[in-house]
């Protein structure tokens, strides 16, 4: 059972019809309640699918790959869930899987769960939290801003036009505003020089972080990359872990292998900004149709990553709804880069 100091009890409303709830780390016995909550809110349409398996929820939490916080009512029922996702136990976790039972909404349960999640992230020594806010409305973006996160990128066409039991499909694939909050502040970062250094410096101004630039040079030795495909949403991510003399060829081979796959609708590419050779890989990727998506603070094994993207379906940037003025600036830059590399 959770200890008393790991739980925060708070009234969910002044309305007597809404009972008090307890906000705490998930107990293994509560995993079936999370699955029931997901099914109640989203039927069978939720992604990722892990939350439909109580055994998987428990296993991921025990491994530290998922850090679940729940809201439990007086009857012991799970009425809210919020989590940090760390599939590779990296220095950055994604705030995700935010669910509240309909009759418990609008009573600050998400805010209370988010506070405890932040405490857990700090306790685990994480560098920061990233959030992917939908752009068919601005509510989730404003929630990220409420918690002190700043926009650091825009990902176009990343998810399908219909998911999570949406009442009506969108007219195009879903785009996301990427938000980031530092938990361990930085004063300065060192990046190799790329064509996007001014835009990245602008992103970092939001956090009061200075960027020191060093000249790039040809990479030596073998590189290393990983490809993660999410077939359920039609997205594949190419993550360069180490830039080598063979990295340009390796990225191009990965793209050749992925593009004939009709299930893949969007490709993303992460390049480590601290490593020699990144500028060359970026230039080659842009020749092949990738374009700027944003900055990934601490995404590259604790170092920063340059985020590039290649949606494989047409995306109308005018339909992307953004709340923050700087996010709108980022979208304008993304769209200009898309046109520069020839993706109309």
Quote the DSSP letter at residue 15: -
pLDDT at 118: 95
Tokens of residue 183, six digits: 């938990």
Task: Tell me how many domains the chain contains.
Answer: 2
Strands 266-272 and 303-311: antiparallel
Residue 159 maps to a domain:
no
One pLDDT digit (tens) per residue for the chain, 344 residues:
223 233 333 333 334 345 689 999 999 999 999 999 999 999 988 988 999 999 999 999 999 999 999 999 999 999 999 999 999 999 999 999 999 999 999 888 999 999 999 999 999 999 999 999 999 999 999 999 999 999 999 999 999 988 766 678 889 999 999 999 999 989 999 999 999 999 999 999 999 999 999 988 889 999 999 999 999 899 999 999 999 999 999 999 999 999 887 789 999 999 999 999 999 999 999 999 999 999 999 999 999 999 999 999 999 999 999 999 999 999 999 999 999 998 54
pLDDT at 165: 65
Residue 13 maps to a domain:
no
Domain boundary (126, 156, 172) is at 126
Alpha-carbon span 273 to 33, nearest angstrom: 42
Domain boundary (104, 126, 148) is at 126
Please name the helix (run of DSSP H) or strand (run of DSSP E) that holds residue 58, with its range, or none: helix 54-63
pLDDT at 254: 96
Residue 11 — φ and ψ, nearest 5°? Answer: -65, 135
Domain boundary (81, 111, 126) is at 126
- Asked if 104 contacts 72 with a C-beta cutoff of 8 angstroms, the reply is no
Residue 202 maps to a domain:
no
Residue 46 maps to a domain:
yes
Residue 183 maps to a domain:
no
Residue 33 maps to a domain:
yes
Alpha-carbon span 135 to 107, nearest angstrom: 24
pLDDT at 45: 87
Residue 51 maps to a domain:
yes
Q: Give the bridge partners for 188, in sequence order.
A: 210
Query: Please, what's the b/e burial string for 211-229 (b: 16 or more CB within 10 A of its CB; e: otherwise)?
Result: beeeebeebeeebebebee
CATH number for position 25: 3.40.630.30
Alpha-carbon span 19 to 228, nearest angstrom: 43
Q: Which residue is associated with the tokens 């989730």? A: 140
Q: Quote the domain boundaries for residue 62.
A: 19-126
Residue 52 — φ and ψ, nearest 5°? Answer: -85, 0
Residue 262 maps to a domain:
yes
Tokens of residue 138, six digits: 């601005």
Same domain for 226 and 114, yes or no, is no
């Amino acid at each position: 059972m959770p200890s008393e100091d790991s739980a925060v009890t708070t009234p969910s409303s002044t309305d007597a019809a809404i009972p008090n709830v307890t906000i705490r780390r998930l107990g293994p016995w509560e995993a079936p309640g999370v699955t029931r909550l997901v099914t109640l809110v989203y039927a069978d349409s939720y992604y990722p699918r892990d939350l439909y398996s109580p055994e998987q929820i428990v296993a991921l939490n025990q491994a530290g790959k998922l850090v679940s916080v729940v809201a439990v009512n007086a009857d012991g029922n799970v009425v809210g869930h919020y989590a940090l996702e760390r599939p590779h136990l990296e220095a950055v976790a994604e705030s995700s899987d935010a669910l509240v039972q309909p009759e418990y909404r609008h009573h600050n349960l998400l805010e209370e769960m988010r506070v405890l999640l932040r405490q857990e992230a700090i306790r685990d020594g994480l560098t920061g939290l990233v959030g992917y806010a939908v752009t068919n409305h601005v509510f989730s973006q404003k929630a990220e801003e409420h918690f002190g996160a700043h926009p650091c990128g825009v990902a176009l066409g990343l998810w399908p036009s219909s998911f999570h039991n949406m009442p009506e499909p969108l007219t195009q694939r879903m785009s996301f505003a990427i938000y980031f909050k530092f938990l361990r502040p930085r004063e300065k970062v060192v990046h190799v020089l790329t064509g996007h250094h001014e835009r990245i410096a602008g992103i970092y101004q939001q956090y009061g972080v200075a960027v020191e630039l060093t000249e790039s040079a040809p990479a030596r030795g073998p590189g290393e990359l990983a490809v993660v495909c999410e077939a359920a949403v039609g997205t594949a991510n190419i993550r360069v872990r180490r830039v080598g003399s063979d990295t340009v060829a390796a990225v191009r081979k990965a793209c050749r292998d992925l593009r004939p796959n009709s299930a893949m609708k969007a490709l993303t590419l992460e390049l480590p900004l601290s490593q020699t050779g990144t500028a060359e890989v970026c230039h080659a990727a842009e020749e092949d149709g990738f374009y700027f998506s944003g900055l990934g603070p601490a995404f590259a094994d604790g170092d920063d990553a340059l985020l590039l993207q290649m949606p494989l379906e047409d995306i109308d940037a005018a339909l992307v709804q953004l709340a923050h003025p700087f996010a709108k600036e980022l979208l304008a830059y993304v769209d200009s880069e898309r046109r520069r590399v020839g993706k109309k």
